[in-house]
Amino acid sequence: METEQTLVLIKPDGVQRGLIGEVIARYEHKGLKIVGMKLQQLPRNTAEALYAVHLGKSFYDVLIEFMTSAPIVALVIEGRGAIDLVRIINGETDPKESRPGSIRGDFSVNITHNIVHASDSPENAQRELDIVFGPEECYKYNRVDEAILHPTIV
């Protein structure tokens, strides 16, 4: 399993409900590394670029309005299998299908207001990261527990 990066957005409902620390802790406790982070009010054109794949769908306008309605926290998360791990930690997009213990299973009840967004593939991760972060906004460092989390013999 190779090291990869993925985009996570803590959506306006997660920020407004004071869940930033709880959400970040879940990724870090799993051994994933935060290599980029910023709090921002998502500009409309950025939200439209991120969700362009949904243009024309019935929920598109509601999603764009919601994502630009209050600040979000954007994260670049790095680790072995980060894309799949983040999606497991997040739970299903529809919180009614999410298991207890996942972010969505524990904190959300609505498919739009579901606390977090995460990239679903390496291609989308790269596209989304390029929209939200510049290369100068990501940092390289080692966690002190990396040797334990990622031994050379697997």
Q: Which amino acid is at 71?
A: P
Q: Write out the chain's pLDDT in tens, 154 residues.
A: 789 999 999 999 999 999 999 999 999 999 999 999 999 999 999 999 999 999 999 999 999 999 999 999 999 999 999 999 999 999 999 999 999 999 999 999 899 899 999 999 999 999 999 999 999 999 999 999 988 888 876 5
Instruction: Tally Cβ neighbours within 10 Å of residue 154.
Output: 6
Q: Which of 29, 54, 113, 117 is catalytic?
A: 117
Out of 3.40.50.1000, 3.30.870.10, 3.40.50.2300, 3.30.70.141, the CATH code matching 3-149 is: 3.30.70.141
Q: Residues near 7 by Cβ (< 8 Å), separated by ≥ 6? A: 74, 75, 76, 77, 117, 118, 119, 125, 128, 129, 132, 133
Could you confirm whether 117 is annotated as catalytic? yes
So where are the chain's domains? 3-149
Residues composing the chain: 154
The pTM of this model reads 0.94
